[in-house]
Amino acid sequence: MASTLPRLPIFEAIARHDPNSTAVVHSISGRKFTYGELLKDVADAKDNLVKDNGGSVNGKRIAFLVENCYDYVGALYLQTACLKLDL
């Protein structure tokens, strides 16, 4: 599991999958994303969000405006990661 994500059942379940197996398929383009990419992208997004907010997002409101695509899946997991870290 990506080291910067909290130890939650959802992230542990994703980490148990083969990192090269398909996690998300964008129905319009057919583009595929792996479990490994998903964990890395969520961890990177969380790290960037925390860094861009002075090292903490604790108590701050965060909104996401994304299409129904891979970015939406990532945003949902990012929200979970930030809520559970109390950063």
Query: CB within 8 A of 46, min separation 6: which ones?
Result: 4, 5, 78, 81, 82, 85
Whether residue 87 has pLDDT greater than 50: no
Domain spans in the chain, listed from the N-terminal domain onward: 9-85
Compute the distance between CA of residue 7 and CA of residue 28 in angstroms, rounded to an integer.
33
Task: Kindly report the pTM of this predicted structure.
Answer: 0.83
- pLDDT value of residue 53: 85
Model pLDDT, residue 22: 97
User: Residues 16-70: pLDDT tens digits?
Assistant: 999 999 999 998 889 999 999 999 999 999 888 888 888 888 778 888 888 888 9
